Amino acid sequence: MEKKIKAFVSYRMPGEKDFQSIGSYGDVHIHDKVDMTRTDTFFVSSFDKKVIFDIPTDTKKTNEFFSCDMELNNTPKEIKRTSYLHQIELFKKKIKKGLFSKIVLSRTKHQDTPENFDPYQLFNTLCTAYPNAFVYLFYSELSGLWIGATPEFLIQKVGDSFKTVALAGTKLTTENWTDKEKEEQQYVTNYIRDLIEDKSKSIKVHKIKDHLIGNIKHLKTEIDFELYFNDEINALTNKLQPTPAVCGVPQDVTMDTIKRTESHARSFYTGIIGPVGINNETELFVNLRCMQVCKNKLVFYAGGGITEDSNAKDEWQETERKIEILSRYII
């Protein structure tokens, strides 16, 4: 009897033309943390790190897809504009009281699933549209079906060294940066630098630059570092995520506030995703610009960093722009 695929992922690394697919004949493996010392596997972690699993590489393909019998998840709650704007104002009051300096508020948006919707075709379209993004399509019985094109890597292994990035702020490519976005990005840079500095025998913080994806841009600062002990990378990765770019400052307070406030589950949005030791590549990404294929609905996830200077209507529009990165290609 021919073995059946139970879980799979297809992904295209930034700047590459070919995509890779791996399939598993068994159930996914559950973990208590992402393990960057593994080989030949693909890790996925939820935002709150309560669900972490890897898809084993039982079989591989290049530029070909796997298929399997897919059970789609139920549709999570949709967040309406009025609720989102109201919550931003509440967060700004808490920031003024000194409870935290920045927090990220996320939302969901629903779209009816087109009759002839093809996730594999959408994956190919996103690869063409966003050559510098990490594009993926994965399914497991545990997670359901997800598709994304994220611009942000969390951590990359380069020989005996590592690379990470501080990415924050969102504007149209035709717009100028304001102090609000620059301040938000500096929060992220300072947090990451301070976190890894004591564990690193060398560290280099590069100059800030624009990072483009479609018609929007982000502020990006690359950080290269070499650890005293490479086996500390797993503990460091666990501390890095969630970064202030997807959670807030300080991490523990904002994480708790997000869990108590957001009326939808983020699930794998703003979690970790990426290959570990596949084709000598180990690179984990923050799962942004993503969507979940649910029963009868496509569910898009997006969020924005809220500071004391945030304008609620502008923040809503920012999430609309982020969602459009994927939704514009749904036919």
Distance CA 269, CA 108 (A): 10
Distance CA 39, CA 9 (A): 16
The mean of the pLDDT values for the chain is 93
pLDDT of 89 higher than 90: yes
Which of left, alpha, beta for 289 (phi over 0: left; psi -120 to 50: alpha)?
left
pLDDT in tens, 216-248: 888 999 999 999 888 889 999 988 899 888 999
Distance CA 4, CA 138 (A): 16
Amino acid at 296: N
pLDDT in tens, 249-276: 888 999 999 999 999 999 999 999 999 9
Task: Write the CATH number for 135.
Answer: 3.60.120.10
Q: To which residue do tokens 């939704």 refer?
A: 327
Which residue, among 331, 316, 272, has the nearest Cα to 109 in the 3D structure? 316
pLDDT in tens, 169-202: 888 889 999 988 888 888 889 888 998 988 899 9
- Asked if residue 87 is part of any domain, the answer here is yes
Count CA atoms closer than 13 A to 224's CA, side-chain side.
7
The continuous run of DSSP H or E covering 275 comes out as strand 272-278
pLDDT of 1 higher than 70: no
Share of the chain above pLDDT 90, in %: 75
Q: What is the pLDDT of residue 171?
A: 87
Number of domains in the chain: 1
Q: For the residues 279-285, what does the mean pLDDT come to?
A: 92
- Asked if residue 2 is part of any domain, the answer here is no
- Asked if residue 1 is part of any domain, the answer here is no
User: Which band of pLDDT confidence, cut at 50, 70 and 90, is reported for residue 82?
Assistant: very high
Range(s) of the domain holding residue 273:
7-327
Amino acid at 287: N
Distance CA 221, CA 14 (A): 17
pLDDT in tens, 124-134: 999 999 999 99
Distance CA 316, CA 56 (A): 39
| pTM greater than 0.75 (yes/no) | yes
- Asked if residue 121 is part of any domain, the answer here is yes
- Asked if residue 197 is part of any domain, the answer here is yes
Q: For the residues 48-74, what does the mean pLDDT come to?
A: 94
Residue 171, beta-bridge partner list? 217
Which of left, alpha, beta for 274 (phi over 0: left; psi -120 to 50: alpha)?
left
Report DSSP state, residue 107: E
> Is residue 103 within 8 Å of 87, Cβ to Cβ?
no
User: Which band of pLDDT confidence, cut at 50, 70 and 90, is reported for residue 116?
Assistant: very high
- What sign does the CA torsion over 285, 288, 290, 292 have? positive
Q: Which residues contact 48 (CB under 8 A, 6 or more apart)?
A: 255, 259, 266
Distance CA 65, CA 204 (A): 39
> Is residue 196 within 8 Å of 229, Cβ to Cβ?
no
Amino acid at 88: I
Q: What is the pLDDT of residue 170?
A: 84
pLDDT in tens, 21-41: 999 999 899 999 999 988 899
- Asked if residue 27 is part of any domain, the answer here is yes
